[in-house]
Each structure stands twice: as structure tokens, then as C-alpha cells.
Structure 1
Amino acid sequence: MKKLLICRHAKSSWDQPWLSDRERPLAQRGLRDAPVMAKRLKTNHIFPNKIVSSNAKRALQTAEIYQDEFSKEDVWFEKTPELYHASVREILQLLRKQDNRVKSLFIFGHNPGFTDLINYLGEPLDSLPTAAVFGFTFTTDQWTAISPENASFWFYDFPKNQSPKIL
């Protein structure tokens, strides 16, 4: 079985409008919400083998906060431009390239691609909020084989959620 956590970056700052979209950092709210979400996962014994993040600053900062919450020695970490404003097709290509030794993969990136991926895999969602995490399990041992047919909803959580549903 493979586990995928789709993690949208935490709230970004617009305090420096001259920065490029890729260079926008997290806002104070994002810096507050990201560790809360990482701790919730850890409390529920949900750990990554690997983290892959968009190279946009806000996504990378969010991913690094999560990595700090987990044991860095046990987690592979990769940043890539492939997740920056990626389409479903591009995200699936990235997922299907993963080493099969990775059992639990956390990806950090952006809407609309992440919401589109969630819908493609079979769960209706209007928009993945900032700092939200959406989990799927796949009944396969090969990343190349992941598809809507072997995807199952695992959980969905976001900072304002008072009762996350984890199956």
C-alpha cells in the first residue's frame, strides 16, 4: 500500500508586493498553522518517508516546518520546480517517478493543481484551503500504478477543523 498526503502551503504573505510569486514567504498565520498541522499528523502516527516540495518559498517553508516536526534522518527531502503550479498530469508524472521504497509521501504545493488532483482521484472538493492536508491510500506497491481505481480516501484536515476525520 502507498500513502499520499497532499499538503497545500500555509498562508502566504502579501506584505512585499514587489516579490515574485515564487518568492512570497509565509505570513504569520502560515507560520502558526503549519506546525499545528504537522503536530496533528504526528499525534495520529502519520509520518512521511519522503517529502517533495514545490520550490516556491511558501511551499518550501511549509515543508521544512513539517520536516522539523519529524525525524530528519528518516525522511528524504526533495524540492522541485515540477510542483509549482503543476497540473494533475504533471503531479501524477512526479508521483509515478517515486522510488517504491517510499511508502508514505507528503507533497507540498499549490492550488488549483492540488484540488484538481483530489477531485481526479475521486473525492469532491471545491478548494483545498491553505495549510490543509488531504490523504489517500492506494492498494498498490508501485507508484507507477497509482490511479483513481486503487485510490481510497484516508483523511482530510485543515487548521480550523475541530474534529479531523482520519480513517
Structure 2
Amino acid sequence: MKTLYIVRHAKSSWKYSGINDIDRPLKKRGIKDAHLMSKVLNKMVDKPDVFISSSANRALHTAVIFCENFGFPHFNLQIKRQLYSFSDGYLVKTVNALDDGFNSAIIFSHDHGINTFVNEFGNRPIAHVTTCGIIGLKFKEKHWKNIRRGETFLVEFPKNHK
């Protein structure tokens, strides 16, 4: 059985003009939400075996906060530039390529791709994954490359913990 946690990056700032989208930082609210949700998740689940993040600043900052609150070494955080995509294609490829030695993984990525992925691979419709929202999926398959529709067992959004 494989367990996957998908986290949409926390709320980012649009106040800086002239920077590329990939470089947008988190807002103060985003930083607070990332701490809140990482602590909530840490109380609910065992530490995932691997942490993987998009290379976008906002996703990477969210992932670092989760690493900190889970006690996961920052130097083990995997950064995947291809996750800086707004389609689910690279998310699917990233999950399918996971080492089967990992029974659980947490991936930090972006809107649209996440929404499509959790609705295609989960068994519970989710209209919109909010910033810093966490979706947990369990799969019966033994190999990540073979995952099909799994069980959506966790849906957590910051608004439910404030």
C-alpha cells in the first residue's frame, strides 16, 4: 500500500512587481498557514518517507516549513523543477517515478495540476484545493508506477483549523 499527501503551496504574495512568477514569495498569511497545517498534519500522520517540492519559491518555502515541523532534514528535500507546472502531467510522472522503497510521500505543488490529480486518482470529488490545502490518498498498489484510483482519506484546509 502507498500513501501520498499532496500539498498546494501556501498563499503567495503578488505585491512585488518585476519578479518572475517562479520567484513569488509567500505572504505572512501563507507562512502562518504553512506552520499551522504542517503541525496539524504532523499530529495526524506518520512522517512521510520522502518530501518533494516544485522549484517555485512559494512551494519550496512551504515545503521547508513542513520539513521543519516534521523534523525532516532539509538536505533530503527533493526539488523537482518539472513540478512547476499547472497541469497534472508532471505530477503524475513524479508520483509514478517514486522509488518503491518509499511507502509514503508528500509533494508540494500548484493549483490546477493538484485539482486534476486528486479528482482523477481519489475517490472523493474535491471542487478546489485551497492554498496550503492537504489531500491524502491511499493506493492498494505495491508500485508507484501502477497507481490507479485510490482512497481519498484526508482533506484538510487551513480555514478548518483557525
Q: TM-score range by the shorter chain?
A: over 0.9
Comparing 91-100 with 129-138, greater Cα deviation is found at 91-100
| Count of matched residue positions in the alignment of Structure 1 and Structure 2 | 161
- Residue 161 of structure 1 and its aligned partner are, at CA, apart by 0.9
Report if the CA contact (8 A) 1:52-1:80 is conserved. yes
1-structure distance, mates of 2:95, 2:144: 6
Comparing 41-50 with 51-60, greater Cα deviation is found at 41-50
1-structure distance, mates of 2:43, 2:141: 26
- Residue 101 of structure 1 and its aligned partner are, at CA, apart by 1.0
Unpaired runs of 5+ residues, structure 1, are none
1:67 alignment partner AA = C
- Residue 124 of structure 1 and its aligned partner are, at CA, apart by 1.4
Report if the CA contact (8 A) 2:68-2:74 is conserved. no
Percentage of pairs with the same residue = 33
Give runs of ≥4 in structure 1 deviating > 4 Å. Answer: none
> Is 1:72 aligned to 2:61, yes or no?
no
Unpaired runs of 5+ residues, structure 2, are none
Comparing 113-122 with 80-89, greater Cα deviation is found at 80-89
Pairing 1:32-43 to 2, within 5 Å after superposition: 32-43=32-43
Residue in 2 aligned with 1:160?
159
Report if the CA contact (8 A) 2:64-2:74 is conserved. no
TM-score in terms of structure 1 length = 0.90
2-structure distance, mates of 1:46, 1:12: 27
1:26-67 deviations in whole A, cap 9, x for unaligned? 000001000100000111133211011000000000000000
